[in-house]
Amino acid sequence: MSNNHVEYLQKLEDQASMHAEEDFYLWPRTPIKADLQEEIVQRVGVSDLYPGAENSRPAQIIRLIEMLLNQRLVRKRFSLIDFPCGDAIVLWQIKKAFPFADCYGLDCKKDLYSTHSMIKNDGVILYCAFLQHLFESNPTEPFDIAVMLNTYRGWEYADLRDNEKNLPMLADSWFARNAKFAVITATEVQIDKLRSLGFTTIEIGKGEDDSGMVCISRCYPGALQLNHL
């Protein structure tokens, strides 16, 4: 694993430990459920537990990564960060498909999901940190792939405080600076805005509810244009 990424993420976790969660949590009305996959089935149509299902979220991301590897756009030991990773099942499926990858998950509810212990045992590294701190910082080197599912398309449902209204803009800026490729679920309006900001996008498949899953990049626009999935 990259010592630079580990050091960066550990600093974010140390920073989070000095603050009360209620001062940074963005979805206070959303209860932590014992099984997030029930909701995923309702929103996507298939659980993350079934990577063999063509339309599952892990399957769509795994196909994209295979394309990036085949085109040598990411290295065999690529780095991937998922935030907020929730129950981290998507991240777990990616790690199982690509065991040489360095897979990191960030969520302020780290270890509150029953799945986290199993996932960490299989080599995924999880950190307790806040999105606000992430978007205001930069790793020494960019991540090969960043993943932000459900949360990205759901900014309008977040209880953003006055000083957090710019978080969606900061997220876009973070992707541009710190991820060679990013996978998000987004609405058509959000995708159009990303294109206006200079991101090249390709559709991967279905996201949650009426959103689409897309790969965006400011680093390799030609590659994404030539290799639609």
Q: Which of 102, 107, 105 is nearest to 141 (CA)?
A: 102
What integer pLDDT is reported at residue 226 of this predicted model?
47
Cβ neighbours for 8, distance < 8 A, ≥ 6 positions apart? 137, 139, 140
pTM reported for the whole predicted model: 0.94
Give the contacts of 165 (CB within 8 A, at least 6 positions apart).
Answer: none
Res 28: pLDDT? 72
DSSP 196-209: HTT-EEEEEEE-ST
Predicted pLDDT of residue 139? 97
- Domains in the chain and their CATH numbers? 3-226 (3.40.50.150)
Residue 72: is it exposed, middle or buried by C-beta count within 10 angstroms (0-12/13-18/19+)? exposed
Local structure of residue 64 (DSSP, 8 states): H
- The residue type of 28 is P
**Which tokens belong to 17?**
């430990």
Contact 126, 116 (CB under 8 A): yes
Written as six digits, the tokens of 1 are: 């694993």
* Run means of pLDDT, 10 residues per run, the chain, 229 residues: 92 98 84 82 96 96 96 95 97 98 97 95 98 97 97 90 95 97 97 95 94 91 55
Give residue 156's pLDDT: 84
How far out from the chain centre does Cα 167 lie?
15
Q: Quick one: 149 exposed, middle or buried, by C-beta within 10 A (0-12, 13-18, 19+)?
A: buried
Report, in angstroms and rounded to the nearest whole number, the Rg of the chain calculated over CA atoms: 16
The pLDDT value given to residue 224: 61
- pLDDT given at position 27: 79
